[in-house]
Amino acid sequence: MFDGPFDVFAWIIAIAAFLIAIKASSQAAELRRRLNSLEEMFYAQRQVQPPPLMPAQEQEQAPAPATTAAEPPPLAPEAEPAPPPLVTEELSPPPLEASSAAAAPPPVPAAAPGFEEQLGTRWVVWIGGLALALGGFFMVRYSIEAGLLGPGVRVFLGGLFAAALLGAGEWSRRKESISNIQALPIANIPAILTAAGTAVAFATIYAAYALYGFLVPATAFVLLGIVAMCTLAAALLHGPALAGLGVVGAFVTPLLVSSGKPDYWALYIYLAIVTAASFGLARIRLWRWLAVTTIAFAVLWIFPGLDSEELQVAPHAFHVIAGFVLAALLVVCGFMFGPSIEDGEIEPVSSSSLGAYLFGAMLIVLSSAHADLALIAFTLLVGATLLVAWRAPAATGALGAAAATIFIVFAEWAVRANPDMLVLPGGPIAGVGPAAIDSSVTLHLVMAAIFAVGFGIAGFLAQGRSNSAIIPVVWSAAAVATPIAILIALYARIAHLDRSIPFAILAVLLAAAFGAATEALTRRETRPGVAVSTALFATGTLGALALALTFALEKGWLTIALALMSLGTAWISMQRPIPFLRWLAAIFAGIVTARIGYDPRIVGDAVGTTPIFNWLLWGYGLPAASFWAASIFLRRRADDAPLRMVETAAILFTALLAFMEIRHFATNGRMTSPPSLLEFALQVCVTLAMAIGLERLRLRSRSIVHNVGAVVLTAIGGLISVFGLLILENPLIWRIDVGGAVFNLLLLGYALPAVLMLLLSYAVVGMRGKVYANTIAGGALVFALAYVTLEIRRFYHGPILSTGATTGAEQYTYSIGWLAFGVALLGIGILVNSERARLASAAVIALTILKAFVIDMSTLTGVYRALSFMCLGVVLVAIGWLYQRILFRRQVAPPPAPQTSA
């Protein structure tokens, strides 16, 4: 690389010059900073120090000598005034006190470490520690490759090097302690030397075991554990870096040393000792990260052996119970030996530590197919969680984890342990049906009773014990959610989601218990969180009643019952003004809406064939009435989000009732049949009628939901009118039987919608924009003209309008009919003084004129052509006369009166 020794010296000189330049630059920056500080101090002194006084001013401001009240002041002799004293430019020094006060410099902030300081005090130390560890590794590797040392000597030298590093770390620590040298917190030389020695000791013992076979697994395991424990102990003196190395080494040791037949008891006893040491160190030094790391490793060590066919439940249960007990004793704040914490605060590490071991116990239960010992261990941990959370509010968050794991255990038991699989042909399906080690139903029922009673009573008694609002809320939420979740799981497991009067009775009893708790809490004095807890217990009452209805009723009746629950909740909110009850009424409305989304026919194929009076009337009509009544109760308190949700459900169910009944009527009960002209016509009429009703209702209620609902229904009616009546089911395009001569589908599908559109346009005049109202009126005109045209077509072609040729007489009749319709509109506009009617008349007549010159002139012949234009001319002249004589009649001005002379 280098050509000669001079190149080497050149590189050395360049590197030295670079380091000297860096040092000089750092010193120059430090001098510049100090100079700026001195300038700031000088300017601050100049601003604080007052200007010097002249001699005359000093005499005027000097205090006068004290004299008695009777003695007059001496008179000054008359003399020539003395000349004014000379003012010199020299500044007089301030007094001693003022000078010392002004000269005191402000405290100079500590300068940030420069590049040189970081390089020499931190980076070098870190790299040095790493280099020591790598040096030992490379030395061993070189000796192996060169064949200089045998295996025994290598291991001996590795141990000797580890001992040397550990000794150097301890010597440097004691030297710093004796000489009162404060070690840098980021680059502690004794800690780094000790960590390097620990790493070398780990590697040496593992090499003696795994590479050379000098140690049996048991001896290697013990030695590695001793090193890990000593590392944790040394962390008390050397800081967190060594603690991290020790905890990682302690938990990784079982992976490094393995045997053909795992001994889970030895493993979990060792892990219990390591966990205790790590938790103790975390408690002494208050290192939260060390506690969290230990919990994470401990939970990961639950997984080995869970997927084996011969799962050893006892050692796994010992592992989670031992870890739970250690966490409760040393980690949970405010409990036994844990750190102290302010009252009413939920500490995340305290709660998550208990929740982690509950999660592990749940995994053991699920993996063992609900073995009795696993269930007993899980029950003990849940009970211990209630006890710890009752004693230490910092662990209240673990109640949520306990409730969630309980529901998962019972839900998994209900899904997998299904005895119905036993009666299938060929026996149970592998992995789905119950196994031979499934726990009995009796044990699960006993557990369910213990959990439900324990959470319910504890959640009720916990109200008012804390000055914080979140603590009682968590207790009440767990007290309500846990019994309901267990009841649902047992119902699915035992009753198989069928009707069950015994479970309905249990749900009613549970509702009564929640109702009694609600009444008791309403009578108590106001405490933090009691209002929300009362609402939660009231929610549990209504939820349990809804479950009772679910267990006792079938399909459509359940939908009706849940809708009535919304009405009942709204009524209860009037008697007991608990804010959450309003939301609960809205939640019930949402549940019913989701229920009809799952099966819009409510009862499946059992809807019935009777028009109107079928299951759709009860399944949609009663919920709609319930939601309308609930909205009336809720509106008496406030116009808020729950009210709007219930009002939306009321409008939705009313519209769905109409649409579903129309579909049932138009298809004769076959709900999956394609749509027809009759269905579209009825839907348009009903939608427009509901829009008119909402337009009237919103003027009284001032509800945003009624306002938006009217617009949405109008838009839906317009879309069905355009795409359904004018395109998809237009009798001029498709072969459709329209029925009789007068009372037919044309009257229902075109005339009646035109009338309803006209009424809707008058309902929104002055309340909405002119464009909105005129658009609806334009739709009425289009459908009225379409009705006239289609009726003329029905007169010439019969019920099927799409067949047959158009004759000259038919074309002439179209012109006459359109012209008569325009004249009728003009007459109505004149009689009621409606500008919109007259403009509509002008549009129809203009269309008639266009037809006469474009169609009639080319298609009509003979007398029909002449009569068409003659009638058109007469009508146009008559219209002009009407406009001149009636609408815009000009008044003739009277002649001026003759003037007389004065």
H-type helices in 439-554, by residue range?
441-461, 470-490, 501-522, 530-552
Q: Name which of 339, 335, 308 is nearest 324 in CA terms.
A: 335
- The pLDDT value recorded for residue 713 is 97
**DSSP for residue 419:** G
Going through 605-728 in order, the beta strands assigned E by DSSP cover none
Q: Which residues contact 92 (CB under 8 A, 6 or more apart)?
A: 52, 53
Phi, psi of 800 (to 5 degrees): -100, 110
| pTM of this prediction exceeds 0.75 | no
Contact 450, 430 (CB under 8 A): no
498-505: long-range contacts, CB 8 A cutoff, minimum separation 24 = 499/551, 499/552, 499/553, 499/554, 500/551, 500/552, 501/551, 501/552, 503/551, 504/548, 504/549, 504/551, 504/552, 505/548
What local confidence, expressed as pLDDT, does residue 758 receive? 95
Residue holding tokens 């130390």? Answer: 125
Radius of gyration for the alpha carbons in the chain, expressed in angstroms and rounded: 47
* CA gap 125, 371 in Å, rounded: 55
In the 8-state DSSP scheme, what is residue 617?
Answer: I
CA nearest neighbour of 517 among 469, 574, 465, 479: 479
Q: What value does the mean pLDDT of the chain take?
A: 77
**Beta carbons of 868 and 848 less than 8 angstroms apart:** no
Tell me, what's the pLDDT at 186? 40
Q: So what's the pLDDT on residue 143?
A: 57
The alpha carbon dihedral of 231, 233, 237, 243 has a sign of: positive
- Ranges of residues in the chain with a pLDDT under 70 are 1-32, 39-40, 42-159, 161-212, 214, 216-218, 220-221, 224-225, 227-229, 231-247, 249-250, 253-254, 256-261, 417-440, 555, 860-865, 868-869, 872, 876, 879-902
Q: In 734-770, which positions are buried (b, 16+ CB within 10 angstroms) versus exposed (e)?
A: eebebbeeeebbbbbbbbbbbebbbbbbbbbeeebee
Cα–Cα distances (Å) from 480 to 136, 508, 513, 538, 559, in that order, read 62, 14, 10, 9, 23
Tokens found for residue 243: 């603690």
- Supply φ then ψ for residue 353, to 5 degrees: -65, -45
Please report how the helices 5-48 and 96-103 are oriented relative to each other, as an axis angle in degrees rounded to 10.
Answer: 140
d(Cα 219, Cα 466) in Å, to the nearest integer?
52
* Helix, strand, or coil (residue 739): strand
CA distance 369 to 14: 73
Count of C-beta atoms within a 10 Å radius of residue 714? 25
Residues of 459-497 as b/e, b for ≥16 C-beta within 10 angstroms?
Answer: bbebbbebebebbbbbbbbbbbbbbbbbbbbbbbbeeee
Single-letter amino acid code for the residue at 191: A
Q: How far apart are CA 229 and CA 243, in angstroms?
A: 10
Cα–Cα distance, 373 to 311 (Å, whole number)? 12
State how far the Cα of 397 lies from the Cα of 654, in Å rounded to an integer: 44
Q: Which pLDDT score is estimated for 77?
A: 39
Q: What is the number of alpha carbons within 13 Å of residue 859 lying toward its C-beta?
A: 17
| Distance (Å, whole) CA 412 – CA 431 | 13
Q: CA-CA distance, 460 to 893, in Å (whole number)?
A: 93
- The pLDDT, as a whole number, for residue 47 is 54
